[in-house]
Structure 1
Amino acid sequence: MSRAAVIVLAKAPEPGRVKTRLCPPATPEQAADLAAAALLDTIDAAAGVPGADLVVAFTGRLAGAARGGELTAALRGARVLPQRGDALGERIAAAHADTAAVLPGRPTLQLGMDTPQADAALLAACLDRLRAPRTDAVLGLAADGGWWALGLRDPRAARLVAPVPTSRADTGERTLRALRDGGLRVGLLAELTDVDTAADALQVAAAAPGGRFAAALARVPTFAAAP
Structure 2
Amino acid sequence: MRRALLIVAKAPEPGRTKTRLVPPLTPDQAAELSKAFLLDTLHLARQLAWERISVVAPAGSATALAPLLPPEVILLEQRGIGLGDALRHAFASHFAESFSRVVLIGSDSPTLPAAFIRQACAALERFDLSVGPSVDGGYYLIGMRQPHLGVFEDISWSTASVFAETLQRAHALSLNVSTLPTWYDVDDAEHLARLRNELRSSPADLAPHTRAALQTLSLVAPAASASV
Greater RCO, 1 or 2 (C-alpha within 8 Å, sep 6+)? 1
Q: What does the per-residue CA deviation read over 1:118-140, in whole Å, with 9 as the maximum and x for residues that have no partner?
A: 14333222211222x2x110100
Task: Tell me how far apart the structure 2 counterparts of residues 77 and 137 of structure 1 sit (CA, whole Å).
Answer: 27
Task: Tell me how far apart the structure 1 counterparts of residues 192 and 109 of structure 2 sit (CA, whole Å).
Answer: 10
Task: Tell me how far apart the structure 1 counterparts of residues 175 and 196 of structure 2 sit (CA, whole Å).
Answer: 34
TM-score, normalization: structure 1?
0.85
Output aligned runs, 1:161-176, within 5 Å.
Answer: 161-176=152-167
Contact 1:90 1:163 in 2 (8 A): no
Structure 1 unpaired stretches of 5+: none
User: Are residues 120 and 74 of structure 1, via their aligned partners in 2, closer, same or farther at CA, if it must alter by over 3 Å?
Assistant: farther
TM-score, normalization: structure 2?
0.85
1:195 aligns with 2:186: yes
Task: Tell me how far apart the structure 2 counterparts of residues 174 and 215 of structure 1 sit (CA, whole Å).
Answer: 37
Contact 1:111 1:150 in 2 (8 A): yes
Partner of residue 99, structure 1: 94
Equivalent of residue 109 in structure 1, options 103, 110, 120: 103
How many residue pairs align between the two structures? 214
Equivalent of residue 83 in structure 1, options 78, 83, 95: 78
Q: Where does structure 1 differ by over 4 angstroms across 4 or more consecutive aligned residues?
A: none
Displacement of 1:104: 1.2
Task: Tell me how far apart the structure 1 counterparts of residues 11 and 164 of structure 2 sit (CA, whole Å).
Answer: 28
Equivalent of residue 141 in structure 2, options 149, 159, 162: 149
Displacement of 1:222: 6.8
1:61 aligns with 2:61: yes
Task: Tell me how far apart the structure 2 counterparts of residues 43 and 179 of structure 1 sit (CA, whole Å).
Answer: 29
Partner of residue 18, structure 2: 19
Task: Tell me how far apart the structure 1 counterparts of residues 185 and 82 of structure 2 sit (CA, whole Å).
Answer: 20
Task: Tell me how far apart the structure 1 counterparts of residues 196 and 46 of structure 2 sit (CA, whole Å).
Answer: 21
Structure 2 unpaired stretches of 5+: 222-228
